Amino acid sequence: MGFCGNIAAVMPNWLSRDPSEENGGVNLYGFVSNDPLSAFDAQGLALMQYSTDTSSLRFQTFDLRGKYNIPNLAARTDAQWPISQVATASGKTVAIQGSLNIVLQIQPGEDPNDPSSTADGLTITAHEHLHAELAKTLWNADLASVNKWEGTYCSEQCATLAASIANYQDLYNFYDERQQNLQIDVRQYNGANAKRGVGVAGQLKAAAQSGLDQATAAFSAAKCSNPN
């Protein structure tokens, strides 16, 4: 059936548990969010949609100023985007796995309801929720561009190239999210650190795009085709 198990049509659900465990949702016997007509997951390990309501996220106390050496840093949104080999090729098959985790961090002693630490007049909580929501939106919008490379190919070479394309695409998406979130802080604070970060993210995004272009060209030159 293209999934790690067999389906029980009378139930209906899969007889084997989702190999991605709770990353795919609390229903461990579900499949592509019960939307098999418009979604696919050949290995049961595709990148998972982030469904948490970002307005419900709460802060964890963390010494941000000590770690980043930024004296006035009050809070930070840590969008933990998987960027290390989300796609792996084994023989002729490409499997993809990963999920987004968003953590809000606040400097000890800072009041999350204080608007004086932000230039946009929002409370610290509201401002960081903007960052979290953007990370969620971009992650969910970009899933299809990576997940579509999961599947079984005509050769091991094509599978290896497809995995490379998926990894470069994920890397590009990651740096794009970083750049857009840093641009929020540039508009609000016009700070040197945020400006520098936007530039660095742009350079890394360009490098990822170059790698993506090369992998795509090699995939085409090898006369490979996407099984999806």
- pLDDT digit string, tens, across residues 177-192: 999 999 998 888 777 8
Global pTM reads: 0.77
Look at residue 117 in the predicted model and tell me its pLDDT: 63
- CA 102 to CA 98: how far, in whole Å? 13
- Is residue 11 in a domain? yes
**Do 2 and 57 lie in a common domain?**
no
Tell me the C-alpha distance between 165 and 161, whole Å. Answer: 6
Does any domain span residue 21? yes
Alpha helix ranges (H) inside the chain: 64-68, 124-147, 156-189, 192-221
- Verify that 214 and 188 share a domain, yes or no: yes
Q: Is residue 228 part of a domain?
A: no
- What is the domain range of residue 25? 1-39
* Mean pLDDT, residues 32-60: 69
With respect to residue 94, please indicate whether it lies within any of the assigned structural domains.
yes
User: Residues 115, 35: one domain?
Assistant: no
Q: What is the pLDDT of residue 133?
A: 97
Q: Is residue 211 part of a domain?
A: yes
- Structure-token pair, residue 57: 């996220």
SS3 42: coil
pLDDT averaged over every residue in the chain: 82
The tokens for 30 are 């579900």
140-143, long-range: CB within 8 Å, 24+ apart, which pairs? Answer: 140/49, 140/50, 142/169, 142/170, 142/173, 143/46, 143/47, 143/49
SS3 18: coil
Shared domain for 186 and 87, answered yes or no, is yes
Do 97 and 182 fall within a single domain?
yes
* 207 plus 178 within the same structural domain: yes
Same domain, 116 and 155: yes
Q: Please state the domain count of the chain.
A: 2
Q: Are residues 34 and 121 in the same domain?
A: no
Q: Do 5 and 95 sit in the same domain of this protein?
A: no
- Asked if 94 and 12 sit in the same domain, the reply is no
Assess if residue 227 is contained within a domain. Answer: no
Q: Is residue 145 part of a domain?
A: yes
Whether 26 and 119 map to the same domain: the answer is no
- Structure confidence at residue 188 (pLDDT): 80
Q: What percent of the chain has pLDDT over 70?
A: 78
